[in-house]
Chains A and B, each alone.
Chain A
Amino acid sequence: MSAEPVIEVVELSKQYKDIRAVDGISLSIPSNQIFSMLGANGAGKTTTVEILEGLRSPTSGSARVFGVDVAKDYRPIRSRVGILPQNFEPFDMLKPTEAIEYWAGLFDKKVTRKDVSDLLETVNLSHRKDVVSKKLSGGEKRKLGIALSLINEPELLFLDEPTTGLDPRARRDLWALIEGIKKKGSTVFLTTHYLDEAEKLSDDVAIMHKGRIITRGSPEDLVRKHGKLTVIVLAGAGEVGLKEVTRRGIDATLESDGDLLVPVRDPTEMRQIFQKLSGIELKVKDMYTRKQTLEDVFLSVVGQKMDEGVLGK
Chain B
Amino acid sequence: MSRILADTIAFGKQYMRSGVAMFFAFAFPILLILIFGAIFSSQGEVALPLPVQDLDEGPYSTVFLNILANISVVDIEVIPSDVDISEYISDESLLVALQIPADFSSQVGAILADASAGPVNLTLYGDQTTSTYGTMSQVVQAAIDGMNYGLLGESPIVGFEAQSISLEDNMTFMDFFLPGVVGLVVMTNTLYTITSICAEYKSRGYFKLLATTNIKKHEWLLSKFIFYTVLLFASLLLTFAIGQAVFDMTSSLTPLAFAFIAAGGFLFLAMGMLLGTLVKDPESASAIANAVGFPMMFLSGIFFNLDGMPSYMQAISKVFPLTYFNDGLRATMIYDNTEVALVNLAIVVVLGLVFFVLGSKLLSWKER
A residues at B contact (CB < 8 Å): 50, 53-57, 74, 78-79, 81, 83, 85-89, 91-94, 98-99, 101-108, 110, 132
Contact = CB atoms under 8 A, between A and B. Distances in A.
A102 B206 CA distance: 13
A206 B209 CA distance: 25
Contact of B13 (A53, A85, A87, A98): A98
Given A89-B204, A91-B206, A101-B6, A106 B214 contact: yes
A105 B209 contact: no
A108 B3 contact: yes
A101 B10 CA distance: 9
B211 A55 contact: yes
A87 B210 CA distance: 15
Contacts of A108: 2-3, 214
Given A85-B208, A102-B7, A55 B13 contact: no
Given A91-B14, A101-B6, A85 B205 contact: yes
Contacts of A105: 2-3, 5-7, 9-10
A91 B10 contact: yes
A171 B70 CA distance: 85
Contacts of B45: none
Residue of A56, A93, A98 with most partner-chain B CB within 10 A: A93
Contacts of A55: 208, 211-212, 366-367
Contact of A54 (B10, B205, B212, B215): B212
B14 A56 contact: no
Interface in B141-195: none
Nearest to A91: B14
B213 interface: yes
B13 A94 contact: yes
A252 to B, nearest CB: 46
Interface core residue of A98, A105, A132 (most chain B CB under 10 Å):
A105
B18 interface: yes
B102 to A, nearest CB: 74
20 contacts: A50-B367, A56-B367, A79-B214, A83-B212, A85-B208, A89-B204, A89-B205, A92-B14, A93-B17, A93-B18, A94-B14, A98-B13, A101-B10, A102-B6, A105-B7, A106-B3, A106-B210, A106-B213, A107-B213, A132-B17
B17 A106 contact: no
Contacts of A104: 6
Contacts of B210: 106
A103 B14 contact: no
A104 B18 CA distance: 24
A193 to B, nearest CB: 19
Contacts of B366: 54-57
Contacts of A93: 13-14, 17-18
B254 to A, nearest CB: 36
Given A89-B205, A94-B14, A53 B212 contact: yes
Nearest to B220: A106
Contacts of B13: 93-94, 98
Contacts of A103: 213
